[in-house]
Amino acid sequence: MKIKGKKVVLGITGSIAAYKGVEVLRELQKRGAEVKVAITEAGKEFIGKLTLEALTGQPVYDRVIPESGQEIRHTSLARWGDLLLIAPATANTIAKISCGIADTPVSEVALCFGKGIIAPAMNDRMYENPITQENLEKLKRLGWEVVEPGSGYLACGDTGKGRLAEVKDIVEAAEYWFYPKLLKGKKVVITAGATREYIDPVRFISNPSSGKMGYALAKVAAGMGAEVVLISGKTCLEPPYRVRRIEVETVEEMKEAALKEFESANVYISAAAIGDYTPVERSSQKIKKGEGELVIRLKRTPDVLKLIGQKKREGQVVVGFAAETENLLENAKKKLEKKNLDLIVANSVKEGVFGSSQTRVFIVGKSGEVLETSGSKEEVAEEILKKVAEVLKGAESPR
Ligand SMILES: Cc1cc2nc3c(=O)[nH]c(=O)nc-3n(C[C@H](O)[C@H](O)[C@H](O)COP(=O)(O)O)c2cc1C
């Protein structure tokens, strides 16, 4: 995980969602970050300083003017931290930061950092107020990342936009902070997971793909600044932060979505395990079990990646995956040529491709160069996407 070993200063302010700041803290720690906390006076009305000190094992920065003999902490915190994350951020604190007012521990540390991540939480009228909107726009222009609040039932009883974003999204935004923005301004389409071909309304042919590799690619591509569309078969995974997911079931649905999204894409990565066969006939009723054998005749499904390769225009980059049981590199190279790909990622099915969080792959380029890489699926995804960014640069630069 990209945030492992990073030093994060977590700012907590006087919102009813302050208790979720504690959840953010725990999740950052779980992912390997070291965390110190700054909190406003109003924030301390909502959660206890002792809780934060016990969880971090560190003193909490809660006074702008230190008591006699205490360390002056706002500048040392900014020097120590790799990232300032304010969650939840009140309308008041956002306004102060955007004006450079340094009269609370959080706004003062923010002035020292210069930029960071803000997760606003407030009543919908406070959020929609043009003053708050202008303040947020100004901060975005200055390099701050804003994790948009969600809509729904608010603590004050109103319904609208202003609820603190999901903890998972806030923490992923923090992870994204540390990726090089190699894909900024690019649209990346990624397919993931397994397809289902129905035999009857309750039975289907599928495969054990977990979708983890495709989801890891989507997350890292979004971290690298891309607009990401994830076309996904059924999985139990949550879409990563800032990724638009299109859910599909069958190969036909996958094909339709892929061709449509590829039109305006810069990069297409086929990480889905797309079924090669579908029943010749799909029964509209549940097939009753009988005594004897049941024969199901199958026909080929459309080859989605080949169709994408045929549609590829100059400047677009297409990446395939090859899961093989034998002659790994040889078969991968053949597939790269046959399907008009720019890169192919070969992995051996023998080495536990399906379901595992770790993987080992060979990234094969058009001129036959091979890069071997292994690690977590996110680490491998980063290597693949760095290579994609390189190929993209080459494809775009004038010859
Ligand atoms: C019960 C309660 C809940 C509040 N929730 C929020 C909130 O979610 N967002 C917000 O901007 N202000 C909220 N406020 C108002 C802030 O606490 C107030 O504006 C305060 O000055 C914020 O100070 P700070 O930004 O220094 O933490 C709430 C106040 C109360 C009494």
- The residue whose CA is least distant from atom 6 of ligand 1 is 15
Q: Is the CB of 278 under 6 A from ligand 1?
A: no
- The residue whose CA is least distant from atom 5 of ligand 1 is 15
Distance from residue 96's CA to the centre of ligand 1 (Å): 13
Mutation probe of ligand 1 site: the residue of 10, 12, 15, 122 with most atoms within 8 A of C-beta: 15
Task: Give the position, in ligand 1's atom list, of the atom nearest the Cα of 126.
Answer: 11
Q: Is the CB of 15 under 6 A from ligand 1?
A: yes
Q: Is the CB of 122 under 6 A from ligand 1?
A: yes
Distance from residue 92's CA to the centre of ligand 1 (Å): 8
Instruction: Tell me which CATH code domain 187-396 carries.
Output: 3.40.50.10300
Query: Mind listing the pLDDT tens digit of every residue in the chain (399 residues)?
Result: 799 999 999 999 999 999 999 999 999 999 999 999 999 999 999 999 999 999 999 999 998 887 766 776 778 899 999 999 999 999 999 999 999 999 999 999 999 999 999 999 999 999 999 999 999 999 999 999 999 999 987 777 778 899 999 999 999 999 999 999 999 999 999 999 999 999 999 999 999 989 999 999 999 999 999 999 999 999 999 999 999 999 999 999 999 999 999 999 999 999 999 999 999 999 999 999 999 999 999 999 999 999 999 999 999 999 999 988 788 889 999 999 999 999 999 987 765 555 677 889 999 999 989 999 999 999 999 999 999 999 999 877 654
Q: Is the CB of 14 under 6 A from ligand 1?
A: yes
CB atoms within 10 A of CB 209: 23
3-state secondary structure of 36: strand
Distance from residue 353's CA to the centre of ligand 1 (Å): 48
Q: Is the CB of 135 under 6 A from ligand 1?
A: no
Give the Cα separation of 328 and 88 in Å (integer). Answer: 49
Tokens 């303040």 belong to residue: 135
Q: Is the CB of 132 under 6 A from ligand 1?
A: no
pLDDT of residue 399: 47
Q: Which CATH architecture fits 7-176?
A: 3-Layer(aba) Sandwich (3.40)
Give the Cα separation of 363 and 371 in Å (integer). Answer: 5
3-state secondary structure of 376: strand
Distance from residue 40's CA to the centre of ligand 1 (Å): 10
Beta strands in the chain, from DSSP E residues, in sequence order: 7-12, 34-39, 83-89, 117-120, 145-146, 150-153, 159-163, 187-192, 197-200, 203-205, 227-232, 243-247, 267-270, 277-279, 298-300, 317-324, 343-348, 358-365, 370-376
Give the Cα separation of 8 and 145 in Å (integer). Answer: 15
Q: Is 156 a catalytic residue?
A: yes
Q: Is the CB of 92 under 6 A from ligand 1?
A: yes
Q: What residue ranges do the domains of the chain occupy?
A: 7-176, 187-396
Distance from residue 90's CA to the centre of ligand 1 (Å): 6
Q: Is the CB of 107 under 6 A from ligand 1?
A: no
Task: Give the position, in ligand 1's atom list, of the atom nearest the Cα of 94.
Answer: 25
Distance from residue 394's CA to the centre of ligand 1 (Å): 51
Give the Cα separation of 366 and 343 in Å (integer). Answer: 6
pLDDT of residue 43: 98
Give the Cα separation of 57 and 35 in Å (integer). Answer: 9
